[in-house]
Structure 1
Amino acid sequence: MEKENKRYEYRHIARIVVEAATPIAVGSGASDVVTDSPVVKDINGLPYIPGTSLAGVIRHALDLGRREDETNFFGYHDKDGGRGSRIIFTDAVMIGKDGLAVDGICQIDPSDDFYGWYRELPVRNHVRINEHGVNDRNGKFDNEVVYMGTRFVFEIELLSDQENDSWFDKTLAMLYRNTMRIGGGTRCGYGKMKVVSCLRVDLNLTEASDLATYIKKPSCLSEKWTTFAEWQPSAADVRDDGWITYTLRLQPQDFFLFGSGFGDDDADNTPAVERVVEWGNGKPCFSQQRTLVPASSVKGALAHRTAYNYNKQNRLFIGNENACAGDDNPAVAAVFGSADGDGQSRGSRGNIIMSDVIGKEKCDKLFFHVKNDYFSGGTIDGALFQEKSVFGRDTIYEEEILVRKDVLEDTGVREALEQSLKDICSGLLPLGGCVGRGNGFFTGELLKDGGKI
């Protein structure tokens, strides 16, 4: 690639505040005694989002296509040299209890109630269920997540040779898209962010006043810079034309249970609950425990039913060697992705995006169970257990599901997926655990791009 010497006289700078619209999980790449995958934390022991993670998702979302465009924007390195990136991302640091960014080494009181919740973040337990209804081999794991509602602030700076650089507009607009996800588990309910505010300034460093302003810019994200002004993207830049949006509006018929994997003083099995960070007058506080509907649980049930409906519409019944489930099923592989095939084939990322749903404060009921001996009619030793189920008949749970349009061009795949979604709405596909004991039946309606189907 030819070397070039350009004068980047303009600086386009934005300071963005984002809020976790779902729990997020930016992993540290390590493990500890508590969880298989803890989130990355800064020097203060608080979660943050590394600038490399932000740069990676933006680079992928921009889909620059031509190598010349990508290397010009993000730089490159090869044996003949290279060029640094023209776009610079800071780490996204957490906004603390006083409404200011916790940037740099700060004195965090470990006994403070607000920061105490971040010392022990929620741990999600996962188990992969196969087509036989039992846990799959190597399918048990857990991970740490950051509370929904947590806010972060970061800056993006672009070195440009243009006064009005459209690439910077497109970069900021990516953050507003409904498909934007950050961190790990983005196909399992994590990582959705919403932009709370975006402040922007464009400076021409050949002008003395702009140069002086740029030199005086604070590097600390907790300090204000009056030069910034509010910015909003155009509707065209935010629109996601390549995706179809399905919306499930579900009402429980009675009780349901998405298990936490833990017990308490009253029961051996308890529902999954989490706290949410709420904001008022620019200050955060934690809510009471709320009912959690994990997207990973809904996704697992939906994938199995999609395989069933695809086999059914193609008349692939039991005993037919072409009747496949899991990754081997064409509809499942197309929509939900597939894992590596033991070195024989490469895995593929899912083309469906779902989000965790956190509802109202929990309302649970304790159930006692005992197993009776069929011969004597008496109880079996050690077979007494208790569980708590959530009663949510008065609550509507809304699950948004995004699927790539090109995947659904296959009529068979589209019909199998949509029939599975309808099965949930009609109560034919229960969700969660203990469905064999009457839990998890929902009714509701299915919307496609805002209209009923």
Structure 2
Amino acid sequence: MDSSRAKQAQEKRQKTSASSRILFYDANIDKADLDKYRVSRRDSVALDEWKTAKEGAKFDMEVLEPGIRFVTYMEQNLYEGDEAVAEKIAAAWKAGVFRFGGKTMRGYGEITDVSVKKVMFCLSKKTDKNVETDELDMAKWLEFNMYNDAMWDKQTEWTGSKLYQSNECCIELSLKLKGAISIRRYTTGTDVGNEPDFEQLTVCGVNGKIPVIPGTTWCGAFRSQIRKLIPGIDESDFGIVSNTEKSKSKIRFGESKLIGAKEKILMHNAIDRFDGGTIDTALFKERTYYGGTTKLTISFQTDISDQLLEALAASIVDLNYGFLSVGGMTGVGRGIFEVELVNETKLETDEKLEVQAAKQYKQITAILMNLKGECHG
């Protein structure tokens, strides 16, 4: 009986298994960027509702900083009547829907400025009339070396991005920092004695360091605010990762670069409230940034609830008025932003502040609902 079952299982596998006709190759850093890439360390910590670190929820991770180009290859073996699946995958890639690695709903792994080049070889021989052409393609195929950049330089840019229509809705906020920002990276392990104890998180840019606000920071701030607006909100809306349950977030927060900010090194000490003197060992330095502008991209799928979108709109209004602040040291005025534009549209104004806030809430809610309707349609 066991032998019979094993034979049946083997026959079933033989009927259903087949090698893939689409091949995917490793992605490698472009030769021109081999000396440019940077791997940096980021400190991560889970915070409670009072912005206090949760016990056992501190970890570090290494990230590849943005701006590095990769090269990869995709190959499809097509027969008559087959669908050009590889072209649809390439179109989705150009549309920016593919994200790689971990924390993709928090701004990591985003791929932009995708360049696609395509080459085809006809190797079939249907009629005598086509034999000469097929032999020519066979020779081209044998001579073609896809790892040789010169082979691709002869090909034109593929422009079939319209083959893929994303159902992801995106809203872009143009923001202005009204004071300083404090998203810390601790430097106490450095050998340089004069370095600040902690500094603002940055990435390397063409003209030096650029301060950044990770998507994890944005998500934490918005999630905390939305929880206040909707007590008992379904936690799966922002993703769950535990030993018993896992779910992907319905809202994606991108990473923001702060442009035009001014770097400052500040020295702090603690003062004894009784004698007005400094407290021993309570002196530290920090590197922070003041001012500047940035953009925040928030995207969501069409299955998101209207209630959550309304809470998101209210949170954006709170961000504009300083009720939602970002990063650390918010109790002393850090991390306050002004919303200048929403999807390139200025927010409505009014002489009365409460009327103005109500108008802006309705305006942002309408933008979000219209996006959801357009993507769903």
Specify the TM-score bucket, using the shorter chain as the normaliser. Answer: 0.7 to 0.9
CA 1:449–1:160 in structure 2 vs 1: closer, same or farther (change >3 Å)?
A: farther
Describe the superposition over 1:316-374 as per-residue Cα deviations: whole angstroms up to 9, x where unpaired: xxxxxxxx4xxxx31x422x11122x43xx21011222222223476221222222222
Give identity over the alignment, percent: 25
TM superposition shift of 1:446:
5.5
The one-letter code of the counterpart of 1:213 is K
1:92 to 4, 9, 27: 27
User: In structure 2, what residue type is equivalent to 1:414?
Assistant: L
Asked if 2 retains the 8 angstrom alpha-carbon contact of 1:306 and 1:417, the reply is: yes
2:342 is equivalent to residue 447 of structure 1: yes
- Deviation string 1:146-191 (CA, Å, 9 cap, x unpaired) is 2211111111110111378442321111101233212222112111
- 1:262 pairs with one of 187, 195, 199: 187
Partner of 1:244: 169
> CA contact under 8 A between 1:88 and 1:156: conserved in structure 2?
yes
- Counterpart position of 1:404: 301
Secondary structure (helix, strand or coil) at the match of 2:299 reads strand
User: What is the rounded CA distance, in whole Å, between the counterparts of 2:317 and 2:98 in structure 1?
Assistant: 26
SS in structure 2 at match of 1:198: coil
Gaps of 5+ in 1: 1-76, 100-113, 277-285, 312-323
TM-score (norm 1): 0.66
Q: Give the Å deviation of 1:218.
A: 0.7
1:421 aligns with 2:320: no
Letter in 2 for 1:177: A
User: Is residue 70 of structure 2 the alignment partner of residue 171 of structure 1?
Assistant: no
1:175/1:195 contact within 8 Å kept: no
Tell me if the contact between 1:247 and 1:401 (Cα under 8 Å) persists in the aligned partners. yes
Match among 217, 239, 255 for residue 337 of structure 1: 239
Shift of 1:122: 0.9
Name the CA distance, whole Å, in 2 between partners of 1:430 and 1:219.
Answer: 50
What CA distance in whole angstroms lies between the structure 2 residues aligned with 1:91 and 1:271? 34
Tell me which of 247, 261, 274 is aligned to 2:203. 274
Q: Partner letter of residue 290 of structure 2?
A: F
User: Relative contact order: is structure 1 or structure 2 higher (C-alpha 8 Å, sep ≥ 6)?
Assistant: 1
Q: 1:422, 1:446 within 8 Å by CA — same for their partners in 2?
A: no
Q: What SS is found at the alignment partner of 2:75? A: strand
Distance 2:111 2:251 in 1: 17
- Equivalent residues of 2:146, 2:152 under 8 A apart: no
Letter in 2 for 1:127: V
Give the Cα separation in 2 of the matches to 1:180 and 1:156. Answer: 15
Instruction: Give the residue type in structure 1 aligned to 2:181.
Output: F
Per the TM alignment, residue 400 of structure 1 is displaced from its structure 2 partner at its CA by 0.7
CA, structure 1 residues 141+247, in 2 after alignment: closer, same or farther (shift >3 Å)?
A: same
Taking a change above 3 Å as real, the CA distance of residues 180 and 426 of structure 1, as seen in their structure-2 partners, is farther
Structure 2: stretches of 5+ with no match in the other structure: 1-11, 125-133, 347-362, 365-377
Partner of 2:368: none
Say which of 241, 249, 252 aligns to 1:350: 249
Moved segments of 4+, more than 4 Å: 448-452
Q: Which has the higher Rg, Structure 1 or Structure 2?
A: 2
SS in structure 1 at match of 2:116: strand
Instruction: Give the whole-Å Cα distance in 1 for the aligned partners of 2:254 and 2:336.
Output: 20
Q: Deviations over 1:256-278 (max 9, x none)?
A: 122122256242221111114xx
Residue 225 of structure 1 deviates from its aligned partner by: 4.4
Aligned residues: 324
Contact 1:92 1:154 in 2 (8 A): yes
Distance 2:344 2:212 in 1: 25
CA–CA distance in structure 1, aligned partners of residues 25 and 336 of structure 2: 46
Shift, 1:222, TM fit: 3.9
| 1:6 alignment partner in structure 2 | none
The reply to whether residue 141 of structure 1 matches residue 43 of structure 2 is no
Superposition pairs of residues 60-139 of structure 1, within 5 angstroms: 78=13, 82-97=17-32, 115=35, 118=37, 121-139=39-57
